[in-house]
Chains A and B, each alone.
Chain A
C-alpha cells in the first residue's frame, strides 16, 4: 500500500512538472491554458489521494476548492481573456525553445541537488516528490522571467502557486487549512490584479508584450 501510494504521488507530481515543461516547448496560449488545467486537476487529485492515504480529511476540502478554482474557474477566465485580446498564436520569448528546455533540465537537476538533504531528513512516504515539486517551482519562475507576453506570465504565476501548493502537500501533508485558503485567495487576488493590468497594458500599448513597459522608465 505504502509503495503504491509513493509511486502514485511521484507520478502525479511528475505529470505536473511535465505540464510545466510543456509551456517551455509549445507555442500558443490555448496550449498553455490546457497545460495549466491539466496541472490543476492533477494537483487536486493528488491532494485528495494524500488526504485519503495520509488520514487528513481536511485535504478533501482543499482538493475540492482547488478543482473548482484552479481546475475550472481560472482556466475559463484565462480563455476569456485570450479571446478578448485575440493574441497572436506565435508567442515571443527571450530564450528560444531549445535553450529553454536545456535551462529547464538544469533547473530540475538543481532542484534534485538542493532537496537532497531535505529528503534525507524526512520520513514521509511522499518524499520522492519533493524534488519534483521544487523543480516545478523553478520552472514556473523561469517561465515568468523568460516570456514576453503578459498572459504567459500570468500562467507562469499560477503554475508557481500550484507548485507551492504541491510542495506543501508532499512536504508536510498540507499546511493548515486556514493558510491554504489564504494562499488560494492570494492567488485569486493576484490573478484579478493581473487581469486588470493586462487590460490596461493592452489599452495603453496596443500589445501585451511586457517589454514595452520599459518605455515607462524615466
Chain B
C-alpha cells in the first residue's frame, strides 16, 4: 500500500539533495554556495524525515524505483521498510542541523572550496539516504559507494596537509577493504536465489548450507565492521574524523558509521534470519573489546576531535554489545528479552548519532575560534562562549550515560539485555556475560571520566592560549544547529518510554520478530528471574531536579555568609594558566594503571642554569601513546602489499615491445591450453 503523499516526499528528498549539489556548484559567491548547499540539504533531509516518519507510523513499506536505470544489474529499486525508515530518520535528524551548521562554519573557506564542499555534502547525504532505502543489491552498493566517495572527498578538503593525505589514504583503503568483502557476500547470497532484491536474498539465504551462512556472516561482520569502526578495523576513524570539517565529522561519526550497523542488522537479522548463538557471542566479544579499547584510547587523547572519534569506537562497541547479546538470547529462544536487546542497540544508535553529532559540532565551534584541536591550548571558554559550553555539556552528560539524558536510557536497556542473559544455564555464557557486563560498566565509568576531562580542560579554568582568551561565541546558525541536537538528546532521554515502541515497530517482521511480540513487549523493563527492573527517566529527572534545587538553595544560603575570591594558590600571588590542571595530568593515573596496554613513550628533559643545577630553567615532559596493536596488525599487511606492488611493477618494463609480447604470449598460451585440454 502506498499513498500518494509518500512517493512525493521521496521525490522531494531526492530533488532537494540533487538540487543542493548542483546549486552549490553553480553558485557565484561564497555566501551563495554556502546557503544553496544548506538549503538543498535541509529540504532533502526534511522531506526524507517526513517519509521515514510516515513509514514508521503506518508500518507500510514504500516501493519506488527506476527499473530502467542500469537494468542489467536489476535496476534502481527503492523499498523503505521499518528498519530502513529508522536509519533514514537518523540520517535526516543529523543531516538537517549539520547542513545548517555547515553554512555558518565554513564561512572562511574560499568560494572554490565551498562549491565542492556543498556538492559533496549533498551527495554524501543523498548516498546515505539511498543506502537506507535500497531494495536490491545494486541500489545498496550504489548508495554505499556514493556515500564512501563523497565522504572521502570531504575528508580531503584540506588536501595540502600531509596529515590529511595520510588520513585520506587510510580511509579510502579501509573503505575499499569493506567493499571488496561486501561484494562476495552479496554474490554468495544471490547465487542460490533468483534475483538480487533483498526479498530474493532472503530466499537465497534460506537455501544456503550452514557453513556458507557462517561465511556470509563473517564477511558481513568484516565488511560492515570496517565501516562502523570496530576494533581492530577502527584505524581510519581517529585519522579521518579530525581531518574533515566539523559538520562532516558529525555526519561521518553520527550517521555514516551507523550505516555499518544498519548493514549488519539488515544482513544478520533480516536476510540471514539470525538464530545462531555463536554469531551473537562473536559480536558481543567484538563489541566489548571495541567499547573498552575505544574509551581507553580516548582518555589519552588531547586532540578534541580525535578524542571524540575514539568515543565513536566505544559507542559502536556498546551498540554491538546490545545486538550481540540479543542474538544470543534469540538463539536460546528468549524472544522477548532478545527484542529488548535489538531495540536497545537501535536506540543507542539513534542516541549516539544525536549526542556525538552535537559534540562534534561543539568541538567545531571551539576549534573555529581557537584554531587548534589541542585541548591543552584551550580553557576558560565557558566565559567566552557560554551557550556553546552549555550545549557541549549536554552532549557530554548524554555520552557519559548520566540520567536523565538519552545515553543513559539506551545503555540501561543494553545492561538489561545482558542481565537477562544470566537466565541461560550455559557455562560459557555464565562466564562471558558477566565479563561483558563488567567491561560495559568500566567503559561507562571511563567515558564519564573522559568527558570530565574534555569539558573541564576545554571550557573551565583560565584560557591557556591567546586565541582561547579572545574566543567569541559561535554564530546563530551554528548555535541553532547544536540546540536542535541538544533538545533531541533531552527529548529522547525523557521520552524514552515513547521512543521504544517506535523501535519495536522498526524491528517488525525482521528475523523472528512478529508484530504481536513487538506489541506485547513493554517499555524499558524485562523480566529477570521474577524481578522487574524498571526505570522511569522522567521520574529520575524529577528527582534530580529536586536534588539540584535543594542543593542550589543550600549554596545560596551558604553564599550569604561567604565571600568570593580567587582560588588559593599556595600563597603565590596571581594565578597563571600554568598552574592549571592539564589534560595529561588528569589522564596520568589511568596511564599508569593501564601502562601495559598503552606502553607510553615518555621523555622528561630538565634544563638547568649553567651556574647551579638547583636553578631550573625549563622542564619539558612529553608522553605519547601509540596504539601498538595497530602496528602489530597493520605493519605486516602494509609491508606485504608494498613488496607485492614492487614485484608487480616489474611487469611494467616501459617497453612497448614487452607489452606486445605479453599480448602475444597470452594468446599463444591460451591457444596452447585449449589445444592441450
Seen from chain A, the residues whose Cβ lies within 8 Å of a Cβ on chain B are 94, 110, 113-114, 117, 138, 141-142, 144-146, 148, 210-211, 213-217
A163 and B309 CA atoms in complex are apart in Å by 64
With most chain A CB atoms within 10 A of its CB, the pick from B655, B656, B660 is B656
Contact of B675 among A117, A141, A145 (CB under 8 A): A117
Is A145's CB under 8 angstroms from B654's CB?
no
Given A145-B664, A217-B652, check contact A114 B675 (CB 8 Å): yes
A142 and B656 CA atoms in complex are apart in Å by 13
Is A214's CB under 8 angstroms from B667's CB?
no
B residues 631-677 in Cβ contact with A at 8 Å: 652-657, 660-661, 664, 667-668, 671-672, 675
- Smallest CB-CB A-B distances: 4 pairs: A217-B654, A214-B654, A141-B664, A145-B660
A144 and B656 CA atoms in complex are apart in Å by 10
- Least CB distance, A109 to chain B, in whole angstroms: 12
Given A113-B675, A117-B675, A217-B652, check contact A145 B668 (CB 8 Å): no
Residues in B with CB closer than 8 Å to A114 are 671-672, 675
A141 and B665 CA atoms in complex are apart in Å by 10
Is A214's CB under 8 angstroms from B664's CB?
no
Q: List 19 A-B contacts (CB under 8 A).
A: A110-B668, A110-B672, A114-B671, A138-B668, A141-B660, A145-B657, A145-B660, A145-B661, A146-B657, A148-B657, A211-B655, A211-B657, A213-B654, A213-B655, A213-B656, A214-B655, A215-B654, A217-B652, A217-B654
Seen from chain B, the residues whose Cβ lies within 8 Å of a Cβ on chain A are 652-657, 660-661, 664, 667-668, 671-672, 675
Contact of B664 among A142, A148, A213 (CB under 8 A): A142
A162 and B455 CA atoms in complex are apart in Å by 80
Residues in A with CB closer than 8 Å to B657 are 94, 145-146, 148, 210-211
- Least CB distance, A118 to chain B, in whole angstroms: 10
Residues in A with CB closer than 8 Å to B653 are 214
Residue of B nearest to A117 (CB): B675
Q: A138-B668, A148-B657, A215-B654 are in contact. List 20 more A-B contacts (CB 8 A).
A: A94-B657, A113-B675, A114-B671, A114-B672, A114-B675, A117-B675, A141-B660, A141-B667, A144-B660, A144-B664, A145-B660, A145-B661, A145-B664, A210-B655, A210-B656, A211-B655, A213-B654, A213-B656, A214-B654, A216-B654
- Least CB distance, A94 to chain B, in whole angstroms: 7
Contact of A211 among B652, B656, B661, B675 (CB under 8 A): B656
- Least CB distance, B653 to chain A, in whole angstroms: 7
Residues in A with CB closer than 8 Å to B661 are 145
A113 and B672 CA atoms in complex are apart in Å by 9
- Least CB distance, B348 to chain A, in whole angstroms: 51
- Least CB distance, A117 to chain B, in whole angstroms: 7
Residue of B nearest to A216 (CB): B654
- Least CB distance, B445 to chain A, in whole angstroms: 56
- Least CB distance, B81 to chain A, in whole angstroms: 50
Residue of B nearest to A137 (CB): B667
A144 and B661 CA atoms in complex are apart in Å by 9
Residues in A with CB closer than 8 Å to B664 are 141-142, 144-145
Residues in B with CB closer than 8 Å to A110 are 668, 672
A215 and B656 CA atoms in complex are apart in Å by 11
A142 and B664 CA atoms in complex are apart in Å by 8
Residue of A nearest to B657 (CB): A145
A210 and B661 CA atoms in complex are apart in Å by 14
A138 and B661 CA atoms in complex are apart in Å by 12
Residue of A nearest to B675 (CB): A114
A146 and B664 CA atoms in complex are apart in Å by 11
A94 and B661 CA atoms in complex are apart in Å by 12
A117 and B656 CA atoms in complex are apart in Å by 34
Residues in B with CB closer than 8 Å to A146 are 657
- Least CB distance, B31 to chain A, in whole angstroms: 44
- Least CB distance, A142 to chain B, in whole angstroms: 7
Residues in A with CB closer than 8 Å to B671 are 114
Residues in A with CB closer than 8 Å to B675 are 113-114, 117
Residues in B with CB closer than 8 Å to A141 are 660, 664, 667
Residues in A with CB closer than 8 Å to B668 are 110, 138
A172 and B132 CA atoms in complex are apart in Å by 55
Residues in A with CB closer than 8 Å to B654 are 213-217
A214 and B671 CA atoms in complex are apart in Å by 30
Residues in B with CB closer than 8 Å to A216 are 654
A138 and B663 CA atoms in complex are apart in Å by 12
Residues in A with CB closer than 8 Å to B655 are 210-211, 213-214
A114 and B674 CA atoms in complex are apart in Å by 9
A138 and B657 CA atoms in complex are apart in Å by 15
A114 and B676 CA atoms in complex are apart in Å by 9
With most chain A CB atoms within 10 A of its CB, the pick from B657, B661, B667 is B657
A83 and B607 CA atoms in complex are apart in Å by 81
- Least CB distance, B660 to chain A, in whole angstroms: 5
- Least CB distance, B297 to chain A, in whole angstroms: 40
A141 and B668 CA atoms in complex are apart in Å by 10
Residues in B with CB closer than 8 Å to A217 are 652, 654
Residues in B with CB closer than 8 Å to A211 are 655-657
Residue of A nearest to B661 (CB): A145
- Least CB distance, A198 to chain B, in whole angstroms: 13
- Least CB distance, A54 to chain B, in whole angstroms: 27
Residue of B nearest to A214 (CB): B654
A138 and B667 CA atoms in complex are apart in Å by 10
Residue of B nearest to A211 (CB): B655
- Least CB distance, B671 to chain A, in whole angstroms: 6
A160 and B52 CA atoms in complex are apart in Å by 62
- Least CB distance, B656 to chain A, in whole angstroms: 5
A213 and B652 CA atoms in complex are apart in Å by 13
- Least CB distance, B668 to chain A, in whole angstroms: 7
- Least CB distance, B667 to chain A, in whole angstroms: 7
Residues in A with CB closer than 8 Å to B667 are 141
- Least CB distance, B558 to chain A, in whole angstroms: 76
A217 and B657 CA atoms in complex are apart in Å by 14
Residues in B with CB closer than 8 Å to A117 are 675
A150 and B490 CA atoms in complex are apart in Å by 75
- Least CB distance, B334 to chain A, in whole angstroms: 64
A215 and B671 CA atoms in complex are apart in Å by 33
- Least CB distance, A159 to chain B, in whole angstroms: 14
Residues in B with CB closer than 8 Å to A210 are 655-657
With most chain B CB atoms within 10 A of its CB, the pick from A94, A141, A142, A216 is A141
A148 and B657 CA atoms in complex are apart in Å by 8
- Least CB distance, A89 to chain B, in whole angstroms: 21
A134 and B110 CA atoms in complex are apart in Å by 63
Residue of B nearest to A150 (CB): B656
A94 and B664 CA atoms in complex are apart in Å by 16
A201 and B672 CA atoms in complex are apart in Å by 35
Residues in B with CB closer than 8 Å to A214 are 653-655
Residue of A nearest to B674 (CB): A114
